[in-house]
């Protein structure tokens, strides 16, 4: 895996809707900007060798960093793969839609559910939203949320941005009735 | 203490961005650097006031709190003031405010002197400012914190808050780097030849 840059973003929401959020709501994102393993190879039928060479390593790198950046127990999580313009969205999906990638984060966060994801192709500086859901029960409505990310100079055409997001809580002023009350 | 400061300073949100360059043009930097910005979104205390309004009372109240909150986070993530080699600052005022309001929060001793003190610098702090809609990216310049003319440390970092500033808010930013650009190799004032238009004309004649 050839990593050009690692970016960490932490958002702290101190007030929302004009009211204090105590403690401040924290959401962390860590993104690795890596060379697309299939760049310049034309249509590659079998993506497995590239997945084997990359997915676990990038998953391990990001999982430990995003848990550390959050600095609190993870309650909601999500992931992203943003492919540069020369690649296929399938390349990004290949790296994040495998247990080899996600299990590192699930283990670090004591999570059991699948990671919600965004996959997208775009130029450097493209804006993307990472969806997050609860780490053990994806139906917990209070924890449905997303975080917007933009990296000024990534991905280049031959790169992929792989990111993980972690939240220490649900939405800052969550007050919707639980799903179960609607049945 | 810090959280209390954030709330009392009228901060809605704090966004911390940090980047570490492992490869540039395919090669690891000889001196790796971490660059970071911390941006706070605050209510603009002067919205609705005229251009004859004295900005100093609110500046003296708010700017020191912002300096504390922003530099606390920078120092925590970069490993202390001794790690910081370059710095910069910035503000983006929402569309209901004046650029002067942005300047009031970053260009007085109540902010700049404290940021310089906390980051243990002595240079003037270089800056960028803008009036913009929420989500506007701003490129923040940085230079060396004690020797501003050190060319290897001229660098920038992009800051952005996805949902700020609202029209009646101001985004206030401190930026820092722990080292130079990834591959600095454009000389320095100490090694520059003398260059004037007359010399260049003579060389091409």
Q: What is the pLDDT of residues B100-122, one digit of tens each?
A: 999 999 999 999 999 999 999 99
pLDDT digit string (tens) for B9-43? 889 999 999 999 999 999 999 999 999 999 999 99
pLDDT value of residue B33:
96
Q: Provide the pLDDT confidence category of residue B5 given band limits of 50, 70 and 90.
A: low
Domain chopping of chain B, boundaries: 2-204
- Which of B5, B9, B23 is most worth mutating to test chain A (most A CB atoms within 10 A of its CB)? B23
Q: Is A81 exposed, middle or buried, given 0-12, 13-18 or 19+ CB atoms closer than 10 A?
A: buried
pLDDT value of residue A181:
86
8 Å CB contact between A42 and A25: no
Q: Look at A8 and B16 and tell me if their CB atoms are within 8 Å.
A: yes
Which CATH architecture is the domain B2-204 placed in? 2-Layer Sandwich (3.30)
Distance from CA of B17 to the nearest CA of A (A): 4
pLDDT digit string (tens) for B180-201? 999 999 999 888 999 999 999 9
Residue of B nearest to A22 (CA): B3
Give me chain B's average pLDDT, please.
Answer: 95
Q: Which long-range contacts (CB under 8 A, 24 or more apart) does A128-131 make?
A: A128/A80, A128/A82, A130/A29, A130/A78, A130/A79, A130/A80, A130/A163, A130/A165, A131/A78
pLDDT at position B177 over 50: yes
Distance from CA of A127 to the nearest CA of B (A): 9
A 103-132 residues with CB below 8 A of B? Answer: 125, 127
**pTM, to two decimals:** 0.95
- Which of B1, B18, B25, B29 is most worth mutating to test chain A (most A CB atoms within 10 A of its CB)? B18
| A66 touching chain B per CB within 8 A | no
Percent of chain A with pLDDT over 90: 96
pLDDT at position B2 over 50: no
Q: Look at A9 and B16 and tell me if their CB atoms are within 8 Å.
A: yes
Taking the C-alpha atoms of residue A101 and residue A32, their distance in angstroms, rounded to an integer, is 13
Give me chain A's average pLDDT, please.
Answer: 97
pLDDT value of residue B1:
41
Q: Provide the pLDDT confidence category of residue B3 given band limits of 50, 70 and 90.
A: very low
pLDDT value of residue A100:
97
Taking the C-alpha atoms of residue A149 and residue B164, their distance in angstroms, rounded to an integer, is 13
**H-helix or E-strand containing A109?**
helix A99-109
pLDDT value of residue A53:
97
Domains of chain A plus CATH, in order, are: 3-182 (3.30.1330.110)
| B12 touching chain A per CB within 8 A | yes
Please tell me which of the candidates A4, A10, A11 has its beta carbon nearest to residue B22. A4
**Mean pLDDT (whole number) for A152-180:** 96
Q: How high is the ipTM of this complex?
A: 0.95
Residue of A nearest to B76 (CA): A69
pLDDT value of residue B205:
56
Please tell me which of the candidates B19, B23, B137 has its beta carbon nearest to residue A7. B19
């Amino acid at each position: 895996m050839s990593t050009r840059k690692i970016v960490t973003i932490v958002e702290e929401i101190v007030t929302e809707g004009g009211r204090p959020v105590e403690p401040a709501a924290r959401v962390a994102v860590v993104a690795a900007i890596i060379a697309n393993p299939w760049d310049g190879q034309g249509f590659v039928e079998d993506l497995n060798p590239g997945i084997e060479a990359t997915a676990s390593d990038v998953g391990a790198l990001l999982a430990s960093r995003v848990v550390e950046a959050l600095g609190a127990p993870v309650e909601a999580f999500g992931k992203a793969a943003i492919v540069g313009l020369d690649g296929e969205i399938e390349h990004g999906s290949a790296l994040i839609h495998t247990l080899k990638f996600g299990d590192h984060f699930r283990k670090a966060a004591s999570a059991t559910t699948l990671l919600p994801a965004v996959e997208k192709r775009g130029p450097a500086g493209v804006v993307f939203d990472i969806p997050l859901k609860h780490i053990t029960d994806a139906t917990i409505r209070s924890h449905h949320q997303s975080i917007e990310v933009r990296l000024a100079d990534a991905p280049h055409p031959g790169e992929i941005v792989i990111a993980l997001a972690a939240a220490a809580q649900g939405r800052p002023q969550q007050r919707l009735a639980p799903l179960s009350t609607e049945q | 203490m810090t959280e209390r400061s954030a709330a009392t300073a009228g901060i809605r949100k704090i966004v911390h961005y940090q980047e570490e360059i492992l490869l540039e043009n395919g090669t690891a930097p000889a001196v790796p650097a971490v660059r970071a910005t911390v941006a706070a979104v605050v209510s603009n205390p002067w919205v609705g006031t005229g251009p004859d309004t004295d900005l100093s009372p609110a500046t003296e109240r708010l700017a020191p709190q912002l300096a504390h909150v922003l530099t606390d986070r920078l120092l925590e993530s970069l490993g202390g003031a001794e790690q910081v080699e370059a710095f910069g600052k910035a503000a983006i005022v929402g569309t209901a405010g004046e650029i002067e309001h942005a300047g009031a929060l970053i260009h007085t001793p109540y902010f700049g002197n404290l940021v310089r003190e906390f980051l243990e610098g002595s240079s003037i702090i270089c800056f960028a400012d803008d009036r913009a809609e929420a989500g506007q990216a701003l490129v923040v310049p940085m230079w060396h914190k004690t020797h501003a003319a050190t060319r290897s440390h001229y660098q920038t970092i992009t800051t952005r808050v996805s949902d700020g500033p609202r029209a009646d808010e101001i985004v206030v930013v401190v930026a820092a780097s722990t080292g130079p650009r990834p591959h600095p190799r454009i000389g320095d004032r100490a090694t520059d030849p003398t260059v004037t238009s007359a010399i260049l004309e003579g060389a091409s004649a």
